Each structure stands twice: as C-alpha cells, then as structure tokens.
Structure 1
Amino acid sequence: MASSLFFALSASALPVRLLLATHIAAGTTALLAGLVPMLGRKGGVWHVRAGRLYVYCMLAVALTAVGLCLLQPLTLSRLFLTGVAMLSFYLSFSGWRAARRRSASLARPDQLLAVVALLVGVLMVGTGLWLQAVLFAFFGGLICLFAGLDTRQSLFPRPAEQAEPWMLRHLARLGGSYIAAFTAFLVVNTGRVLPADAPAWLGTAVWIVPTLVGSLLIARTVRHYRARLRHSARP
C-alpha cells in the first residue's frame, strides 16, 4: 500500500517530524497520566487533573495521527495507529464528559459528538474496506458501536440507561480508552525489540493479552462500584 490521501512527504520532512514528535510525546504523557486516576485516590485533585490531561493528550494523539495520514503515504501501520487513536479519544472524551456532568445522560454537545463520531466510524469502515486495511475498518466498526449506542440513547432514551450511575460509564469508557492506547504502544514497540525469528504467537499475544486482562479488570471494577453504589443507596 503506497497511496496517499493528499501528500506524500518523506519521514524526514519537517512537518512530518513535528507531528510525529508531538504524537509520541502526547501518547507517552497520556499513558503516564492515565496511571494516576487508576492507582491514586479516586475523585481527588490529582485524579481530576491527570484525567483532564489524559483526555487532552488523547485529542492531540488523534489529531496528529490524522495529520500523519494526510501527509504521508498510507501504510497498514499508519492506518492502525490512526484507528486506535480515534477510538481511544472518543472513549476518553465520552467517559470524561460523564464525570464532568455527573450524569450518564447526554447533553447536546455530547449528542453532536456522537453523531460526528458515528459518521467518522462509517467513513473509517468504508475506507478500510476499500484499502483492504482490516484493522482500520475494525476500529471504525468499534467507533460505530459506541457512537451508535450514544446516538441511539440520545434519540430514544431508555429509563434504565438514564438512571445508570455516571461513574460506571466513566470507568468503562476511560478504561477502554487506556486499553486501546496501551495496546497500540505495545504493538508498535514490541515489534522493534523482538528478534526477527520470534514465534508468531508472541505478536498475537501482544494484541490479545492487554485487551483480555484489561477488560476483565474493567468488568471487575464496574461490578465493584455498582454493588457499592447500590449498597449506599439502600435506606
């Protein structure tokens, strides 16, 4: 795959180098900042500040990933990173908004973002299928799933969803965002350190293990806080 959307700058071109440096710096900062809410005291000042920094960094990661796609020849690796970045940003922003509003229901800006994200997801699926970039289409499908759920909730709200504690949405979305970002980090960097004759299952494990372990931890955490909230709501 050597086609490009608009430009075909080399990796040594100044705009590409600036975008890549920003992308790496923002991604690294996001991974470090994301540890603070997960490991620190919940709801404290540092939790809030680090969470906000994480979302801002994921926005920078998504924007720079798109910029690199526009400036450089398309590759499967580039499309993969862009797909992960878009998914991770949407999950982080929607989860952050739930905590900021203290509500699982969606305000008008959230509804608009969900519709835009749904359109972007559809575009990613179509582009991925056209370019035979399966992973790009896959991540576009995941964006369609989450943004579609949010859009449906906006248009046809259900009482059970409206009554769902905002904290659970916050935990699930931010956790999913971190898993996606961490998996991308591992996939990109593991390929650089593994020997050429490394068994194929190692590469597969890098994909599967973080998602599996992270999903189990998120599910366990959500169950814990759901039970805790129900217990505190009892008279």
Structure 2
Amino acid sequence: MHFALFFALPATSLFIRLLLGAHIAAGTIALLAGLVPMLGHKGGSLHVRVGRLYTYCMMAVAVTAVLLCVFQPLTQSRLFLTGVAVLSFYLSFTGWRAARRRSAVLPAADLALGAISSLVGLLMVGTGLWLQAIIFAFFGGLICLFAGLDTWRGLRAQPVLSLEPWLFRHFIRMGGSYISAATAFIVVNVGHWLPTEAPHWLRLVGWLAPTLLGSFLISRTVRRYRARLQTGSTLDVKSA
C-alpha cells in the first residue's frame, strides 16, 4: 500500500529529514533511558528523573510519527510505526501519571486525555479499516481499550489509600510502553542486522522476544512488590 492521505513530501526534503532525525533521536534516547528504571533501583532520584525523560521522549516519538504520517505517503510500515508510537506514549504517560498522583481517582486533565485518546483510537481503527491496514486498526483498538477503561474507571473510582493500585499500574504501563517501543525498533532494523539468507523464523523472534522478556520482568517486579505489601514491608517508592 502506498497512499497519500494529506501531503506527499519526498523523503529527501529538509522538513522530512528533520522530522525523521528527531523521531530517531527521541526513540533512541527513550530506549536507552528506559533501561535505567526498568533494571535499576526502584524509587530513587535517578529512577524518577530518567523515567520522566523516557516519558517526554515517547511524547516526542508519537508527535513526530504522526507528523511523518501526515506529510509523507502512507505505507504499511509507516502506519505500523505510528500505531506503536501512539500506544507507547499513552501507556508511558498514564504509567508516569499513576506514580505522580498515587491515587486511583483520575483528575479532570487525565479524564480528558483518556476521552481524547479514545477518540484518537477510534479514528485509527476507522482509518486502518479504510486503508486495509489491519495492524494500524489493531493498535487503535488497543488505545480504545486502555483509554476507554481508564475513563470509565476514573469516573467511577473512589479514593484508594493502598499503594497497590497505582504502583502496579505504574509498573505495567511503563513496562508495556517499553515493550512496544523495543518491538518496533527491532522489527524495523532486524532486516539490516540479519544476512539475506537468514531463515524467516529469525524475524519472528524480533516480534516475540521483547514481549516475552518484558512480560517476565514486569511479572517478577509485580510479584516482588506484592509480596512486600502483603508482609507489611515499607516500600521505597517516591513521586515521579
């Protein structure tokens, strides 16, 4: 598929090269920064600062991905990257906000973000079906699912004093965001890393490895902190 939705600037234009450079730079910084809070000590000042940097970088990745979609002819690859970028941003931002708020009750700004993101997800679903880009529609559906549930729960939630709701939401959302970003990075570049005669199943590893490894790390972290909560241990978790 090669379809011009709004504009069709060539890849050699200065504007597109600047956008692409900013997109790659923000994505690279996010992938490197995300390793620090994920693998390092939880709750320290370094965790807080680098986690904030990761979230801001994912915001830049999403914005530049959408602009590249608008100003370049659409391809399946471009739509895939845009869908991943928007989903990764939403997960990272809501995970970061969970640590800042430390509450199950969403303030008005977060409810508005959830509602707007739900509309964006619906637009992605409609656009993906129209262009027969099923993966793009799939990511739009995931955004609708997360944002819709966030909005519904935010409207119904009561104040919760326990660390558990926001703490696990923080771990799972930030981890899910990193899994999505890492998968996109590997899928886009695996063709350059592997020799031409490499078996096809090696490319499938690029799709599955981040999810398998990331899910293991997230579940291990959740189990460890749940065990500490059950034993009444003090958690060293600071505001993000």
1:215, CA displacement in angstroms?
Answer: 1.4
More off after superposition, 152-161 vs 135-144: 152-161
Following superposition of structure 1 onto structure 2, how do residues 59-74 of structure 1 map, counting pairs within 5 Å? 59-74=59-74
Query: Is the CA contact 1:104–1:163 (under 8 Å) kept in the aligned structure 2?
Result: no
Q: 1:21 to 1:191 in 2, by over 3 A?
A: same
Query: Is the CA contact 2:117–2:143 (under 8 Å) kept in the aligned structure 1?
Result: yes
Return the letter of the residue paired with 2:83: G
Return the letter of the residue paired with 1:40: G
Match of 1:45 in 2: 45
Return the letter of the residue paired with 1:231: T
Identical positions, percent? 67
Q: 1:148 to 1:124 in 2, by over 3 A?
A: same
Query: RMSD in angstroms over aligned alpha carbons?
Result: 1.9
Following superposition of structure 1 onto structure 2, how do residues 124-143 of structure 1 map, counting pairs within 5 Å? 124-143=124-143
When normalised by structure 2's length, the TM-score is: 0.92
CA distance in 1, matches of 2:122, 2:177: 19
Query: Is the CA contact 1:186–1:206 (under 8 Å) kept in the aligned structure 2?
Result: yes
Which structure is richer in relative contact order (CA contacts within 8 A, separation 6 or more)? 2
CA distance in 2, matches of 1:133, 1:171: 31
Return the letter of the residue paired with 1:192: H
Once the two structures are superposed, residues 28-70 of structure 1 have per-residue CA deviations (whole angstroms, 9 ceiling, x without a partner) of 0001111111222211111111011000000000000000001
CA distance in 1, matches of 2:104, 2:221: 17
Gaps of 5+ in 2: 235-240
Q: Does the residue aligned with 1:232 lie in a helix, a strand or coil?
A: coil
Matched, 1:149 2:149: yes
Query: Is the CA contact 1:104–1:164 (under 8 Å) kept in the aligned structure 2?
Result: no
Match of 1:204 in 2: 204
Return the letter of the residue paired with 1:56: Y
Match of 2:8 in 1: 8
Gaps of 5+ in 1: none
1:198, CA displacement in angstroms?
Answer: 2.4
When normalised by structure 1's length, the TM-score is: 0.94
CA distance in 1, matches of 2:90, 2:65: 14
Match of 2:238 in 1: none
Return the letter of the residue paired with 2:183: T
CA distance in 2, matches of 1:110, 1:223: 28
Return the letter of the residue paired with 1:189: N
Match of 1:178 in 2: 178
1:162, CA displacement in angstroms?
Answer: 8.5
Q: 1:171 to 1:163 in 2, by over 3 A?
A: closer
1:27, CA displacement in angstroms?
Answer: 0.3
